[in-house]
Amino acid sequence: MKTLRSLLIMLMLCIWLGAWAQSFSNPVIPGFHPDPSVCRVGDDFYAVNSSFHYFPGVPIFHSRDLVHWEQIGNVLDRPSQLPLGGTTSWLGIYAPTIRYHKGVYYMITTNVGNGGNFMVKAEHPRGPWSEPIWLEQQGIDPSLYFEDDKCYMVSNPDGVIMLCEIDYESGKQLTPSRPLWRGTGGRYPEGPHIYKKDGYYYLLISEGGTELAHQLTIARSRNIEGPYEGCPHNPILTNCNAKGENMQIQGTGHGDFVQDQYGQWWVMFLAYRNFGGSYHHLGRETCLAPVEWDEWPIVNGGNPIDTVMTVAHAPLFSSFPAAGIVSGFNASVESDFQEKSLSDLGVSFVRFQNPIESHYKIGGGRLRLVGHGTLTENKQPTYLGVRQCAADIVMETTISLKSLREQGGQPANSNLRAGLSVYQIHDGHMDFYTDGKSVNVSCRLKSLLAPCNHPGVDSRIPSDAQQLRLRVTSDGLMYYFYYALDQGAYTEVARQNCSLLSTEVAGGFTGVTMGMYVEGEGYADFTSFKYSE
């Protein structure tokens, strides 16, 4: 009888614990959203990400539970805040940090190639954000720490984590830069953040490079100026070990701690997902894991990070179902271009560098894009797209063929072409385009132009066709390219492996974006665009 009673108690305990266990999927902000930083204000969480050579810069997100995120804007939405002249995907806006102090939000970051470290501020995270306040201490990935009415800045000039005090109104440096920590010996000690807990200042950094060996390490001190003692269990987060080597998620690192309103600690960090072997093309994404504290923080119970995470007894997730996996992000967008301005399209659309505004005209059911050079030349090319945030996607557009045949009463220029691009880096993209006479797909890798249409597929366009519809789909392993004329059926014209646009093949460390573009002299009219997941 005692055995039966014990079994019943254990069963009830398992049921009770199961009722408190919730599962969510990683990444929580998928696609090209690297280098996350997060802060909490009351019951609201705000996160920001790197944006490199894309305009507008530093996407900002809002959440109530750290899993369901909505993009509410872009911190840097004016050329005066975001000079991007001559940038490639290796330059531009590196890892930002967001913090809140006395009713004001602060975002600090690095514009690599165009000015260095600066911060902006706003009374509301939706903006408007101030003009840049340029800072003296350099090194990438700067962060702010507020204590009482003092503001400290950390960054990594010369590969050393350095600290100084600044005036958070003017940005003036008030103390000399002081070295704090060189990390544990991994390359590229960067991404520093300071937190205070139980009388210690904790210094969280990333090491190993933002690749397979990426990791989070931590040190602490009783004095903010040091000396800092490294955690004996470093790294506190990495999937580059025996436990994590077979996970789809790899490259875990560059994180930021946040404590929720119930006292539970979390870390948001970047990682990437492999597809079709050891290839990642969607970029570095934002993931989430629970943190427990002993003397030192323990991330996810010391276990590797997976695409499905289970957390026991998390009051923040009280609205989640006890069974099932919660996924909180969808980047789908659709437009028939009735909007009056590009800003009305939505906050997720991006362009390259500082775009030539007169080359983008929207309204009345039409988006007119005026060509300017080529995507590969990377000199303010005409492109409007979104981040690819899921493996399984459909992207579609409709192009007016009349606009490609005749302009201003004259035949269109022979070098004019328009279509859709699946873009990783300026010398790594797949272009699905027309010149008004035929449809083609080209694969541009390291400046090598390679046609990739299916042999035998007739891609010529009859002269009486009025509209060309282009469709790109993906299953995470392949991209498929289809076209249709007017209201006719779609024909597959090409397919290419997604790995060709991976960081491992094409290079870069951003992630795929996809959208409409025009190259050559002249313009093209698009009458619809849709990206769905």
What is the C-alpha to C-alpha distance for residues 369 and 66, in angstroms, rounded to an integer? Answer: 37
* CA 173 to the chain's CA centroid: 31
* CA 141 to the chain's CA centroid: 15
Instruction: Quote the tokens at residue 519.
Output: 């190259």
Strand order in the sheet with 200-207: 190-197, 200-207, 215-221, 229-230
Instruction: Quote the tokens at residue 236.
Output: 């506190």
Nearest to 309 by CA among 271, 262, 279: 271
Nearest to 57 by CA among 137, 124, 112: 112
| Residues designated as active site | 35, 190
Cis amide prior to 132 (ω within 30 degrees)? no
Whose structure tokens read 């340029």? 134
**Residue 110 contacts residue 142 (beta carbons within 8 Å):** yes
The three-class DSSP label of residue 401 is helix
Q: 262: alpha, beta or left, given left = phi > 0 and alpha = psi -120 to 50? A: alpha
β-bridge pairing 325-326 and 21-25: parallel
